[in-house]
Structure 1
Amino acid sequence: MNTSFSFKIYSNTDKLPEKWNELAINNIFLSREYLKVLDLSAPQNMICHYIGIFQNQELVGISLSQFLDLNKLESFGERDKCIKTSVRNFLFKKFSSHVLVIGNNMLTGQNAFSFLDNIDSAQALKTLKLACETLKKDYNSKGKKVHITTYKDFLETEIKKFSIPDFNGIFKFSTQPNMHFDIPENWKTEQDYSNALIKKYRDQYKRARKKADGILKRKMHLEDIIAYEDTIYELYHHVAKNAPFNTFFLAKNHFRIFKELLKDKFLFYGYFIDEKLIGFNTLIKNGKTMDTYFLGYDDTIQREKMLYLNMLYDMIEYSINKGFEEIIFARTALEIKSSVGAKPQKMYGLMEHSNPLINKNIAKLFEYLEPEVDWKERNPFK
């Protein structure tokens, strides 16, 4: 029996196979609706393609690719001003400005692909790699030579699937951890969470909650997001450009499009003082998992009101009340997320450079590309 594998590459979601969502059932970030958000409001320096993997003409796998042109960035991040940062920025501009990601550079976790359970995953990955090579040729032919190809964000159990000859010799790396918050079954309210904290962190919780007096938190609907779009973008952009490192900036219409297409699965909360929007956070319902997404705030008020910490507590409260099993807090602000109870999950990826000489020394290059973060893990629970 012929069990040949093949692939098709799609440049927009309108052309995706009818059964696409059947393979995305366990991950909203591979669904047609979410990918449509990328069609309509991907960052300005990002081009997305969607890959269908077929066995005997039947769709058996789906994948997302993102091409990043880092030359189009206004800034890689303005927080750290040092020699190493300058060297890193030079290396990016000169040797690594065109990056092809198999996965989602805007999220943390395995959002690269989904295969049917009963297929040969080695054959599917081999086919995905062929699709990746085709994409690289296409970009090259348009004068956008791909410097770095990376498959991103896998747990240790997931990265083992790449232990096949086709991926031999590709540099395996470990990135900053994904901060993962597990919600025990017996927690039904925020009080259950508070009771589980040791005194030091329960005091932190009470102090933060008291500091938030005078702030009104409000669920914002589509019309609110549209009305406040300028302020929302200013608050987001302030936080984003002060991050230690960036590879993209969201489009201004991103949250509006997200709400239009994902509806109640996308939550947007505004924080107000005297009717002035001073911060916001966003959440995405992904089955029994709650994914935290982008946020923004006025830095002067953030410090005084412990706003960021209060946002973390609000996300935990909502997720407990609504019966979610876990929260994905992603990989920024590791220590403060640790202080509210999130645990680091080690994440892995694969990377290769198109220049053989650089590729031979990619481990050294990686030290510059992935800034080291010095942080201390906290253990807030009894």
Structure 2
Amino acid sequence: MTHSFIIYSSIAQLPTSWDTVATDNAFLQTPYLKVLEESAPTNMQCFYIGIFEKEALIGVALAQYLDLNKLESFGERDKCLKTYIRNFVFKNFASHVLFLGNNMITGQNGYEFNKNIDHKSISELLLECANAITRYFKEQKITIHIVSFKDFYQHCADELKLYAFADMYDFNTQPNMIFDLCESWKTNDDYIAAFSKKYRDQYKRSHKKMEGITTRELSLAEILSNENRIYELYYHVAKNAPFNTFFLAKNHFSTFKKQCGDRFVLCGYFLNEKLVGFHTLLLNGEVLETYFLGYDEQVQKEKMLYLNMLYNMTKFGIENKFKKIIFGRTALEIKSSIGAKPIFMTGFIYHTNKWINQLMPKIFPKLEPTLVWQQRHPFKES
């Protein structure tokens, strides 16, 4: 059965059956896509791909173009020669990047089908879509340097590698930290009781540090009135990450609340009535997706704010009967200390210059920050 695709540049153009096809993934449904359309990072342009069998829409996918020249910082935490070299390489040989998938989140969120499609067809369709968008930019006198297919679970990556992805460089960056919640945990107390003594003590100690901090979910009106402060707290954390390819727009969180309503939760942390931190969540079926957060560095140190945010997100997941929580990349050790486990995700990448592309296996590992961390095992052995 041959498939065709149409690439859309605005939500208004999407077929009416789009959300029916994307029903299993909130990150591909129109409310979230409208968030991207209305408040994407300034250096990002999104494309929405409809995949058809004859006239019927059977698949949806997302692509994102990033112009790294518009970025003021790739991340300021690691100031060393390797970082300067990496930044030079990105500016000159990799500043126009096309992602098939969502570069803003971790997980296999790039496409969804409403029927079984073989991996051969999927690999060919994704590659054809990438080629079509690359040609579109060529007509605009923009050369796409790098094309990346983002975040596949291992079994899926292995399949794609057998077909159209065979010649691409495949890579694993930091793992996705995923917490499969135990069915026997009905309350937060059940979760705490499952800890070994060391980690129960950690929980009590961090909880005690939070004295004076109040937390509450913010309404749309409250998000709007705190917009500048929320952005300030987010930006502080984002700027100090080891590597960035985008910064969110100032109105991102209010737009998210407006579009997704109760499925988007922004929880504020207050000290003497002043907002000193926040975390966000997206309710995605039986999966709880953690999203961006922010905090005041001084308060975070004194109050163990970040660790308490992880505990609070877990509590929300248990009390609202989610099956798993996606904690994403970064801060792997502390996330493992609350129960999340590393799941490796595979990406595929190629450079449009065939000479550079041949060097990809040598170049890419040098650009990725090396990571040393120790996985924690917080629960009593059953």
**Could you tell me the TM-score, scaled by structure 2's length?**
0.98
User: What aligned pairs does 1:119-268 form with structure 2 within 5 A after superposition?
Assistant: 119-268=117-266
**Which of the residues 101, 126, 131 maps onto 2:99?**
101
1:306 maps to what in 2? 304
Q: Deviations over 1:42-65 (max 9, x none)?
A: 000000000111111211111000
Aligned positions of 1:1-382 closer than 5 A: 3-382=1-380
Q: What CA distance in whole angstroms lies between the structure 2 residues aligned with 1:168 and 1:183?
A: 36
Distance (Å, rounded) in 2 between the aligned partners of 1:339 and 1:51 = 39
Q: CA deviation at 1:150?
A: 0.6
Whole-angstrom distance in 1 between the partners of 2:27 and 2:359:
33
Distance 2:184 2:299 in 1: 35
Name the CA distance, whole Å, in 2 between partners of 1:205 and 1:220.
25
Gaps spanning 5+ residues in structure 2: where?
none
The secondary structure found in structure 2 opposite 1:149 is strand
Contact 2:75/2:244, CA 8 A, preserved across alignment: yes
SS of alignment partner, residue 270 of structure 1: strand
Displacement after TM superposition at 1:367 (Å): 1.5
Is the 8 Å Cα contact of residues 60 and 119 (structure 1) preserved in structure 2? no
Does the 8 Å CA contact 1:153/1:347 hold for their aligned counterparts?
yes
Shift of 1:39: 0.5
Deviations 1:153-192 (A, max 9, x none): 0111111231344222111111110000010111011111
Partner amino acid for 1:151?
Answer: F
Q: Deviations over 1:182-230 (max 9, x none)?
A: 1011101111111111111110000000000100101100000000001
Corresponding pairs, count = 380
**One-letter code of the match for 1:66?**
Q
Shift of residue 34 of structure 1?
0.7
Please list every run of at least 4 consecutive aligned residues from structure 1 whose deviation after the TM superposition is greater than 3 angstroms. Answer: 118-121
Percent of pairs identical after alignment? 53
Structure 1: segments with no counterpart, 5+ residues: none
Amino acid at match of 1:197: F
Query: Could you say what the CA RMSD is over the residues aligned between the two structures, in angstroms?
Result: 1.0
> Per-residue CA shift, 1:92-126, capped at 9, x if unaligned?
01111111000000000001111233344422431
Q: Aligned partners of 1:22 and 1:370: how far apart in 2?
A: 38
* C-alpha distance in 2 between matches for 1:20 and 1:290: 22
Q: Is the 8 A contact 1:179 1:343 kept in 2?
A: yes
Whole-angstrom distance in 2 between the partners of 1:67 and 1:144: 11
The TM-score, its normalising length taken from structure 1, stands at 0.98
Partners of 1:181 and 1:328 within 8 A in 2: yes
CA distance in 1, matches of 2:170, 2:335: 26
Shift of 1:5: 1.3
- Matching residue's letter, 2:78: D
**2:220–2:257 Cα contact (<8 Å) kept:** yes
> Does the residue aligned with 1:51 lie in a helix, a strand or coil?
strand
